[in-house]
């Protein structure tokens, strides 16, 4: 199992960024997926969940209306579209495979820095 | 303020046993939602250590064990080794908030 995130970088407040997570080593279309973030020096925070068929999606309150999770099973890829970014969105963003509302495999993370 | 409460730090000497507590409420752990534990070594991604309260994924040593009772859970590490020095996080699901919740994390120092 391998999960590789990309797309992080420096963005100004109010800006947008799209994160990607390329999955391999397992049948991607059979698993729900999540995004989890970790602000510098802080703990883990769950961000969003998407079911295997994209039928069910959840977000933490602080990103609702700003972030959009999606997936392309044909490409074994997970995405996070982030708009109206705020300073407090600065974090390492991890994609994580969902086992049963726990996360059995994680990517190495991609750093998003929101700063002017 | 995390929904699940963990001690900020614990420490122990090599070979000793340490426990890390995770206190929740009637809407998460107390509601019967499973507790999971993660180990995050410095500079790396979290790794699933214990799932469904007391199960170890393949490859996790049996020095690590989990338990749950009422609105709390615990992670125990026996035969402490230098390589166990890491941050540990508990995680569950909160039925009232309808979100995944994490503890604030506990830094384990091996003396």
Tens digits of per-residue pLDDT, B9-63?
Answer: 999 999 999 999 999 999 999 999 999 999 999 999 999 999 999 999 999 999 9
Which residues, in sequence order, are CB contacts of A86 under 8 Å at separation 6+? A13, A114
- CA–CA gap between residue B34 and residue B54 (Å, rounded): 9
Summarize pLDDT for A45-90 with one digit per residue, the tens: 999 999 999 999 999 999 999 999 999 999 999 999 999 999 999 9
* Residue B45 near residue B38, CB atoms below 8 Å: no
State the average pLDDT over residues B60-80: 97
Phi, psi at residue A61, to the nearest 5°? -55, -35
Question: Bridge partners of B39?
Answer: B47, B88
In this predicted structure, the answer to whether residue B1 has a pLDDT above a threshold of 90 is no
Task: Give, for B6, the enclosing helix (H) or strand (E).
Answer: none
Alpha helices in B4-101 (DSSP H): none
Contact residues on chain B for A102, CB-CB shorter than 8 A: 34, 36, 48, 51-52, 91
Measured CA to CA in angstroms, residue B52 lies from A23, A52, A111, B88 at distances of: 24, 21, 30, 16
Q: Would you call A46 and B100 a contact, using CB atoms and an 8 Å cutoff?
A: yes
Nearest to A43 among B33, B52, B104 (CB): B104
How are the residues of chain A apportioned to helix, strand and coil, as percentages rounded to the nearest 5? 10, 55, 35
In this predicted structure, the answer to whether residue B2 has a pLDDT above a threshold of 90 is no
State the average pLDDT over residues A25-42: 97
Contact residues on chain B for A43, CB-CB shorter than 8 A: 2, 89, 102-105
Which residues, in sequence order, are CB contacts of B2 under 8 Å at separation 6+? A43, B101, B102, B103, B104
DSSP at A54: S
- CA–CA gap between residue B109 and residue B58 (Å, rounded): 25
Measured CA to CA in angstroms, residue A10 lies from A15, A114, B13 at distances of: 10, 6, 41
Q: Would you call B45 and A107 a contact, using CB atoms and an 8 Å cutoff?
A: yes
- CA–CA gap between residue B93 and residue A87 (Å, rounded): 27
Q: Would you call A44 and B105 a contact, using CB atoms and an 8 Å cutoff?
A: yes
């Amino acid at each position: 199992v391998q999960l590789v995130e990309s797309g992080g970088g420096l963005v100004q407040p109010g800006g947008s960024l799209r994160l990607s997570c390329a999955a391999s080593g397992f049948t991607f279309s059979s698993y729900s997926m999540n995004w989890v973030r970790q602000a510098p020096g802080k703990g883990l925070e769950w961000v969003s969940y998407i079911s295997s068929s994209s039928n069910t999606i959840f977000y933490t309150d602080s990103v609702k209306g700003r972030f959009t999770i999606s997936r392309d099973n044909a490409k074994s890829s997970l995405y996070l579209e982030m708009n109206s970014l705020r300073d407090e969105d600065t974090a390492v963003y991890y994609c994580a495979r969902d086992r049963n509302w726990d996360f059995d495999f994680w990517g190495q993370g991609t750093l998003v820095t929101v700063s002017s | 303020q995390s929904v699940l409460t963990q001690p900020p730090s614990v420490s122990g000497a090599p070979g000793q046993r340490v426990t890390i507590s995770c206190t929740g409420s009637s809407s998460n752990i107390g509601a019967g939602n499973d507790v999971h534990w993660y180990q995050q070594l410095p500079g790396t991604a979290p790794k699933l250590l214990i799932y469904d309260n007391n199960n170890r994924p393949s490859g996790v040593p049996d020095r690590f064990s989990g338990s749950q009772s009422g609105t709390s859970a615990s992670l125990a590490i026996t035969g402490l080794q230098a390589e166990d020095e890491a941050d540990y996080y508990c995680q569950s699901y909160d039925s009232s908030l309808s979100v995944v919740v994490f503890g604030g994390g506990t830094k384990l120092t091996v003396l």
